[in-house]
């Protein structure tokens, strides 16, 4: 099946002899399951027979979502978690289980992920080396110097939209005996599939494009065959599982992922082109830009014609005060911290994702006081343009 059909069909409609088949997966709230014979339960609990026994181990609604995600990401197995952050925690723990307790991580990753590495993993003696993953020489050096058990990166970085050479980094990870974990939230499996490029585990904040409507907090871990069982074991013991209702909403969201994401990418491209010519805009960051520093990786890894639904731009001469004023003037675009929703969202990194980074470090990362990020929604592009235009005009 093609991606557009998989999103609608995979995981759904379990057939059982003689029983009616629901056309969509029901929300199954039961935490406990029993069988006609206790001997069956014994075998299920002993992993000799497949089946449900207890909600922390597996739930039918979650399993349907997990099967869907495994198929979309070309993985071996998936776990639906309560948030994107819990997905990242489980993925990193699975990667480090029987490997050196050191992580080489991209230096431009989601703020809370840096917090997770430094404040949660750090105190348990997991060292972290941050590196620019778009500089392969630097990655090679970091691996040689720190002997990591895991390499962590995002398929598309935030907010400057850099795209590292996952294929090459996967090769380096493999020869160093490290697992490559990739956060694929920004790209979605429609734009790029890191497991096909050699990554071992990918994670999503399902809160974003997968669920897609701003009403679910969730995460997904998709693993290759060597990590799926460790991920499941950790989840059985820690229990950061997604609730069945959120699982249902995420599946419902994914059914329209292909439609939404295509439209969002189209809108982002239109916005990027319009903003590039706007007198109040200094610079636009978008992946379709011919002069993009990672144009080569974009061409190699992205699905043809899909350059992503996120763009960033610098407002000419703006400081914090004038950017906040610009945000207050938006009438339709939502000035919130998320992305991937059907409505267009505008984020100001300085007060949100990059709030806890020192001004000096931010400057070094190329994130200026006048930079804002737009996650295009599915609205008519004319309306998004009109809203940004009136807000920019009166800055």
Ligand X SMILES: *Cc1c(COP(=O)(O)O)cnc(C)c1O
Q: Binding residues for ligand X, per CB under 6 A? A: 83-85, 110, 112, 154, 183, 185-186, 205, 207-208, 217, 219
Q: Is 110 a catalytic residue?
A: yes
Q: Is 252 a catalytic residue?
A: no
Q: Return the H-helix or E-strand segment holding 167.
A: helix 166-176
Handedness of CA 172, 174, 175, 178 (dihedral sign): positive
Task: Out of 162, 193, 208, 263, pick the active-site residue.
Answer: 208
How far is the C-alpha of 56 from the C-alpha of 42, rounded, in Å? 17
CA distances from 124 to 95, 96, 119 (A): 15, 12, 9
Distance of CA 97 to the CA centre of its chain: 23
- Residue 146 CB coordination number (10 Å): 18
Q: How far is the CB of 207 from ligand X (least distance, A)?
A: 4
Q: How far is the CB of 177 from ligand X (least distance, A)?
A: 26
Q: Is 183 a catalytic residue?
A: yes
Note every long-range contact of 127-132, with CB atoms under 8 Å and residues 24 or more positions apart, other chains counting.
127/101, 127/102, 127/103, 128/102, 128/103, 128/104, 129/102, 129/103, 129/104, 129/105, 130/105, 130/106, 131/104, 131/105, 131/106, 131/107, 132/106, 132/107, 132/108
Task: Out of 165, 183, 224, 294, pick the active-site residue.
Answer: 183
Q: Which is nearer to ligand X, 154 or 314 (CB)?
A: 154
Judged by DSSP in three states, 201 sits in strand
**What token pair was written down for 40?**
């069956």
Q: How far is the CB of 31 from ligand X (least distance, A)?
A: 23
Q: Is 132 a catalytic residue?
A: no
Q: Which is nearer to ligand X, 106 or 370 (CB)?
A: 106
Q: How far is the CB of 156 from ligand X (least distance, A)?
A: 9
Task: Out of 14, 43, 56, 368, pick the active-site residue.
Answer: 56
Q: How far is the CB of 188 from ligand X (least distance, A)?
A: 11
Q: Which is nearer to ligand X, 73 or 154 (CB)?
A: 154
Q: Which is nearer to ligand X, 186 or 313 (CB)?
A: 186
Q: Which is nearer to ligand X, 85 or 172 (CB)?
A: 85
> Which positions are annotated as active-site residues?
56, 110, 183, 208
């Amino acid at each position: 099946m093609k991606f557009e059909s998989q999103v609608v069909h995979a995981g759904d409609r379990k057939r059982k002899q003689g029983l009616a088949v629901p056309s969509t997966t029901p929300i199954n709230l039961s935490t406990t399951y029993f069988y006609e014979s206790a001997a069956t339960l014994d075998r299920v609990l002993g992993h000799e027979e497949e089946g449900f026994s207890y909600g922390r181990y597996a739930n039918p609604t979650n399993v349907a979502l997990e099967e869907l995600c495994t198929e979309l990401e070309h993985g071996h197995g998936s776990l639906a978690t309560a948030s994107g952050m819990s997905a990242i925690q489980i993925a990193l723990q699975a990667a480090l289980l029987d490997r050196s307790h050191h992580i080489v991580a991209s230096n431009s990753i989601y703020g809370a992920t840096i917090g997770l590495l430094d404040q949660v993993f750090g105190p348990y003696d997991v060292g972290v080396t941050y590196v620019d993953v778009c500089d392969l020489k630097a990655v090679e050096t970091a691996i040689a110097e720190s002997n990591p058990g895991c390499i962590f990166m995002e398929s598309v970085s935030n907010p400057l939209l850099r795209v590292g050479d996952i294929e090459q980094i996967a090769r380096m990870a493999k020869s160093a005996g490290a697992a490559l974990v990739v956060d694929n939230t920004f790209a979605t499996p429609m734009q790029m599939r890191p497991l096909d490029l050699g990554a071992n585990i990918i994670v999503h904040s399902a809160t974003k494009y997968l669920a897609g409507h701003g009403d679910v907090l969730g995460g997904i871990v998709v693993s290759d065959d060597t990590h799926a069982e460790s991920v499941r074991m950790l989840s059985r013991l820690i229990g950061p599982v997604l609730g069945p209702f959120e699982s249902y909403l995420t599946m419902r969201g994914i059914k329209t992922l292909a439609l939404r994401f295509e439209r969002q990418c189209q809108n982002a491209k239109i916005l990027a082109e319009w903003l590039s010519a706007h007198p109040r805009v200094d610079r636009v960051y978008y992946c379709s830009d011919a002069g993009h520093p990672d144009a080569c990786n974009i061409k190699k890894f992205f699905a043809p014609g899909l350059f992503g639904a996120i763009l960033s731009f610098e407002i000419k001469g703006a400081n914090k005060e004038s950017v906040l004023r610009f945000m207050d003037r938006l009438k339709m675009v939502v000035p919130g911290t998320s992305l991937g929703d059907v409505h267009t969202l505008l984020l100001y990194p300085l007060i949100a994702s990059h709030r806890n980074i020192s001004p000096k470090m931010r400057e070094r990362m190329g994130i200026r006081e006048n930079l804002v990020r737009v996650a295009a929604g599915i609205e008519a592009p004319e309306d998004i343009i009109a809203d940004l235009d009136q807000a920019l005009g009166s800055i």
